[in-house]
Structure 1
């Protein structure tokens, strides 16, 4: 066994003093004057953290995408935008910061993940210069040092620096100032603190449990009975342990797991924290706390909460964010990849191309509301940003809006169930890799293994739509592999179209590639692609002009127009090339006895599937066999 290299520990230690700073309150005041943002309140700090990662506006999307979330949360940009807007408004000091951010959704929609990302992000942010956080050194709940300023000095300092100072010293800090420092505020020690959930600094977490063993001290701390004889009174703050979840969360995030399952006393304490931004414990008056409260619950618990009039006061203190399931196949695939950690974990089996796509289509299909106009298969296509003939974007938007009102995205199969089915497929010893057809079998067999409110008929309908979409994808995959030099052939076809379209518009000629003679542009070449695009004869001239103008604009910038840069044209070129080899595909995949030429062609196709498209020997052969079966049905 190789000896562990202890130098590794040294190499990965942060630079000496990188996260440490200690000084006096006087030193801290100078820091705030130089960088006022270090005194931001919790919501402002969180918002600044989110925005520090950047924002991108994608073409065709109404809401921006926040990079802080984009590597972990997929397909629910509208929901993420609502959450960011909450922090944006709260960061500006608006009254919305006195609300509990309550995320409601089905299991597996990402509520806990969103909270975990915010907590982890805040930890990492506190380790940067931009996110540096400072506190009174001896404070048990990492209190903002500016609370030391007397009222008159506070007003002047706020006017000078523009910072917001809210709250007064906690009981323990007040005792220390009165007795240990006797008003010498400039000498009070201040230090930099690092947010840490495990060390209960800046992040508090609470989960309801058995009411017989759980009491309010888990939130607000408790009396240290062993010290009462030493300090002589239960009202001495030195005899109190400020170690509840509310205390730990000061200056950061308070997570309330399954909030609506908590006892009434706990919710009353939460109400005071949210509305008054204060903590109440026995023997002491209310004292200040600065924290963002994030809670999550499921739909059934929320409905009971809303119907219970005993919680009317809390109803007005809750900002509800509905967290639906993702409804986009491509984003669902990213969710599975993240959950499986495909980049860093050895799974033991090869996963064939389209396997995760098949799983994603089924999972998303179970979440879609049934529509009189569009089938599940069509919705899966449209919601993933692909186009259908004669379907305009405004019609898609109308359908989505109507479906959203019907609760689309709040029912269906969780990604966890899909990953369970994939795990069974991977554990099977029958096949050396996991193929789309194996995934479909595993999904069907999993129907009886999971407790779900989705009707069996809806599961079967989604499975049928997935089968149909995969059958089309499988045939296209084989056809693509059969096309010689597919990319080159596609680009040649596109360039040919542009040449003839420009000649037709300019009333000029083109050079025959064989004879070199100048000939009239070939209308059939143009119409073949335009027909595949669904472009009428009346609209053909305008479309040709658009394509030629676009190619000319790119040429002026020194760029060439790729055949796949126009989604509709890409689809038409693929259809044209695939149609040209359809008969060859059918013969070579369905004939049991092949001649030497056909055998060589099949071997070349398998080579392309393996070398260029990510298949292994087993799944390439299975794909060939499966498509052969489809073509002979």
Structure 2
């Protein structure tokens, strides 16, 4: 057993005290100027800093057709192991980063409120949370360092009164000297993209302290800055440093001082005036978020009085604290809202000023099946779901239904909504190119802005996990039933026609699941490697003789016979090769084998997907009757059949991710399908 001293020793060896010292650096104003001279980026604006923070994680550029997609690794949440990763929103996230880039380069968007707009549960809050956490972590790195100033106490030099708004120390430079100082600080960095630009005035507290010292030192600015100390700032939402969050309350409890600070009445007795900045708490969300980011939750629910502060903060980069003049701020202002609230904004003529000062960025639901699956697999996997096994396709079917509710009916004749889902998910269909798929997306204006929220699906998966305490495994039908039952009382869906449409889509998903598991069981039954190789060898011998107009030697009689047309067609028909195309298909296989031979490679039927599928289906057909899968339905199984079924079950567990219970369930289900098919044939 490890002792307490050994545990302490482990931590002692891993701690980085030098990093701690850098994070807690305190120096003089002159020392800060040297820091700026060495690395001008410490003076970046909030927009510049957050844009650089995102790029610091790297960008992957993916070419799709003629378009290039940017995948910003920051939104994969690498530092938290992907816990808050955002899936399937490459284009919306690219639009957001482009807006931040424009603001960083001061092209105009820095004077706007960034408004994330989308349906409930579309990751708006997650995106903002990532930005806030990322900015906090970035400020802890050497690359993301930023600094603020404070004033040495006149009576106790060991005490420093730090700026309540953590503002940029270069604001101490008088206006008439700023151009020359900036030019001096930029010397040696002419080739760099970033240049120091000194803008903004001291906040009321620092302005008061500055003027006091200026009077004390008879206008000698150099002596004033000797009383200044500069320290490293680490942004932190918990400590309310550089990161603010504002959430509207009911109208009776809303107070604009929550944004811009309020008078500290206890200190009025000390300083004698309510207009003394030392008697003011600069703790509103705009104050604490200076140099960083402020989030407005459900921003369009703000009272009108708040909107005036918001408009001034975005357009002028200034706020108006009570009893004080306009005060400069430097922060990213980002809000989020849903569709009903945004419609209210568009229909309200009094909100025209706000509309004019917002940059709307749509954050829709995911419309790609694989990405939707990732959302649920992150929370529901064998590591997180203790004591329960999640049967294959359970998460996939729930995700498929969610995606189908978000897709619009395709205008393309003969294309179903399910086929559209598969195209979006990367499956190729005859007659559809990347350009066709892009056209499908362009034609659907509200796709992803309507439909079922991931939260609803997550809730129903949770219900399925607890609603079957005796089951060791949950299967797709358990979850699909929960999804259907929940529609009766869905708080956001009041339209009965829409509920019926969603129920119909559950039927589509169940049918798709039936096809998937039938194929899996077929493959498990036909997964006899030796039998497949023998069948393949027999087929290849026959098509070789057929294409070369030769005969085949019968292994039993030793006689040469015509190629077995019945055998060849029984395999080719399994993948819908018509009789008119059989010659082409057979030549295609022989050419493929010949090309491999020229390269010195041996033919393997597994490398040809179509042939592999055809052989599996043929072998399944041949073995189905010997296994007597339908006997599972009647519960009358002889020992030989049970042995064969156990082999199939073992393959399902080994190759497809089932456990014993879910493998038994799926075999019983597929057996009932075949039994229904047999009954239909008899009728």
Q: Please list, as runs of the form range in 1=range in 2, the aligned pairs for 1:91-490 lying within 5 A after superposition.
A: 91-137=104-150, 138-150=162-174, 151-157=178-184, 159-160=186-187, 161=189, 162-180=195-213, 183-184=221-222, 185=225, 188-340=228-380, 342=381, 345-372=384-411, 373=413, 374-403=415-444, 405=445, 407-428=446-467, 429-453=469-493, 455-484=498-527
Q: Distance in 2 between matches of 1:170 and 1:111?
A: 32
Q: Please list, as runs of the form range in 1=range in 2, the aligned pairs for 1:24-63 lying within 5 A after superposition.
A: 24-58=28-62, 60=64, 62=67, 63=69
> For the aligned residues, what is the CA RMSD?
4.0
Unaligned runs of 5+ in 1: 516-520
Q: Distance in 1 between matches of 2:427 and 2:479?
A: 24
Shift of 1:344: 5.2
Provide Cα deviations, 1:557-593, integer angstroms capped at 9, x if missing partner: xx9999888xxx5366335423431453465321244
Aligned 8 A contact 2:571 2:618 in 1: no
The 1:148–1:466 alpha-carbon spacing in structure 2 relative to 1, beyond 3 Å, is same
Shift of 1:489: 9.1
The 1:51–1:28 alpha-carbon spacing in structure 2 relative to 1, beyond 3 Å, is same
Q: Distance in 2 between matches of 1:143 and 1:491?
A: 75
Provide Cα deviations, 1:524-557, integer angstroms capped at 9, x if missing partner: 989977994979689879988997899799x79x
Q: TM-score, normalised by structure 2?
A: 0.80
Q: Distance in 2 between matches of 1:176 and 1:147?
A: 13
Q: Distance in 2 between matches of 1:504 and 1:22?
A: 87
Q: Distance in 2 between matches of 1:45 and 1:120?
A: 13
Task: Confirm or deny that 1:69 pairs with 2:82.
Answer: no
Q: Distance in 1 between matches of 2:335 and 2:309?
A: 14
Q: Distance in 1 between matches of 2:438 and 2:587?
A: 26
Name 2:681's counterpart in structure 1: none
Q: TM-score, normalised by structure 1?
A: 0.86
The 1:578–1:188 alpha-carbon spacing in structure 2 relative to 1, beyond 3 Å, is farther
Unaligned runs of 5+ in 2: 77-81, 151-161, 190-194, 557-562, 677-683
Aligned 8 A contact 2:165 2:290 in 1: yes
The 1:485–1:584 alpha-carbon spacing in structure 2 relative to 1, beyond 3 Å, is closer
Q: Any idea what SS the aligned residue of 1:366 has?
A: helix
Name 1:518's counterpart in structure 2: none
Aligned 8 A contact 2:292 2:330 in 1: yes
Task: Confirm or deny that 1:86 pairs with 2:99.
Answer: yes
Q: Any idea what SS the aligned residue of 2:251 has?
A: coil
Aligned 8 A contact 1:478 1:585 in 2: no
Aligned 8 A contact 1:25 1:188 in 2: yes
Name 2:658's counterpart in structure 1: 615
Q: Distance in 1 between matches of 2:27 and 2:613?
A: 68
Name 2:17's counterpart in structure 1: 16
The 1:264–1:492 alpha-carbon spacing in structure 2 relative to 1, beyond 3 Å, is farther
Q: Any idea what SS the aligned residue of 1:53 has?
A: coil
Q: How many residues align?
A: 618
Shift of 1:192: 1.3
Aligned 8 A contact 1:102 1:294 in 2: yes
Q: Any idea what SS the aligned residue of 1:205 has?
A: strand
Q: Any idea what SS the aligned residue of 2:232 has?
A: strand
Shift of 1:477: 1.7
Name 2:642's counterpart in structure 1: 599
Name 1:577's counterpart in structure 2: 616
Q: Any idea what SS the aligned residue of 1:212 has?
A: helix
Deviates more, 1:244-253 or 1:307-316: 307-316
